[in-house]
């Protein structure tokens, strides 16, 4: 009888140990990969701080494709290099990738506004307007997005709609930077 129980229990215990070992091994591998990515991000930051933008760009290209928690930060470094060093990047594509890789949905509107501005600069005002229309009043950057929306509307020749946007911002954000900016833009229109 005892032998019968041992024959049944031993394989179960061994199977359980194998499964537990597999989970431990997977966790170890993920931690190792994150540690390596963390070090690579550190190297990028060091290269940027020391002014070695070419090395930073090479490192960014190596890990940019990885779908990791560091991806938004690495893509932001890429945008920084374009601005600081003139390294040519497809800003629209990078911002789209950055938005899709963000886990914190509260900051997505900020990058949508940045993408709208990139569209505005290249003359794709309709796409810029679509993005700005999707930034709600509950977003922390609502007023700045509305100011940009007014600028886009002006560029599209819709001056009356731009005035409406500026008037609304001036009223809703009275006494703040954006309220004052909207007021100044309205005075400029007169």
**pLDDT tens column, 29-54:** 777 777 787 888 888 889 888 888 88
Q: Are residues 91 and 129 in the same domain?
A: no
Q: Are residues 32 and 64 in the same domain?
A: yes
pLDDT confidence of residue 168: 96
Q: Are residues 76 and 35 in the same domain?
A: yes
Q: Among 87, 103, 119, give the residue marking a domain's end.
A: 103
Q: Are residues 122 and 34 in the same domain?
A: no
Q: Are residues 177 and 98 in the same domain?
A: no
Does the CA dihedral 89-92-97-98 come out positive or negative?
A: positive
Report residue 55's pLDDT band, with 50, 70 and 90 as the boundaries: confident
- How confident is the model over 84-106, as a mean pLDDT? 82
| Structural domains of the chain, count | 2
Q: Are residues 71 and 124 in the same domain?
A: no
- List Cβ neighbours of 18 (8 Å cut-off, separation of 6 or more): none
Q: Among 103, 121, 155, give the residue marking a domain's end.
A: 103
pLDDT confidence of residue 65: 63
pLDDT confidence of residue 66: 67
Q: Are residues 52 and 122 in the same domain?
A: no
Q: Are residues 50 and 132 in the same domain?
A: no
Q: Are residues 72 and 92 in the same domain?
A: yes
Q: Are residues 81 and 34 in the same domain?
A: yes
Task: Please give the residue range of the domain that contains residue 31.
Answer: 1-103
pLDDT confidence of residue 4: 67
pLDDT confidence of residue 24: 82
Q: Are residues 26 and 74 in the same domain?
A: yes
- How high is the mean pLDDT of the chain? 85
Q: Among 39, 74, 103, give the residue marking a domain's end.
A: 103
Read off the CATH number of the domain in which 130 is found. Answer: 1.25.40.10
Please tell me whether the overall predicted TM-score, pTM, comes out greater than 0.85 for this model: no
pLDDT confidence of residue 80: 83
**pLDDT tens figures, 96-108:** 888 888 888 898 9
Q: Are residues 97 and 153 in the same domain?
A: no
Residue 146 CA to residue 179 CA, distance in Å, equals 11
């Amino acid at each position: 009888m005892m032998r019968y129980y041992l024959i049944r229990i031993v394989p179960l215990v061994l199977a359980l140990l194998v499964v537990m070992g597999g989970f431990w091994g997977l966790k170890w591998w993920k931690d190792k990969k994150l540690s390596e990515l963390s070090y690579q991000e550190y190297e990028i930051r060091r290269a940027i701080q020391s002014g070695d933008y070419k090395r930073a760009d090479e490192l960014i290209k190596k890990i940019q494709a990885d779908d990791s928690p560091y991806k938004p930060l690495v893509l932001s470094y890429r945008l920084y290099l374009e601005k600081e060093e003139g390294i040519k990047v497809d800003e629209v594509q990078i911002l789209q990738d950055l938005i899709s890789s963000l886990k914190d949905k509260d900051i997505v509107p900020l990058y949508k506004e940045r993408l709208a501005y990139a569209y505005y600069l290249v003359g794709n005002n309709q796409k810029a307007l679509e993005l700005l229309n999707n930034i709600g009043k509950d977003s922390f950057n609502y007023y700045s997005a509305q100011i940009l929306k007014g600028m886009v509307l002006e560029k599209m020749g819709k001056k009356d709609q731009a005035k409406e946007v500026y008037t609304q911002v001036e009223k809703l954000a009275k006494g703040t930077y954006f309220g004052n900016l909207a007021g100044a833009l309205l005075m400029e229109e007169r």
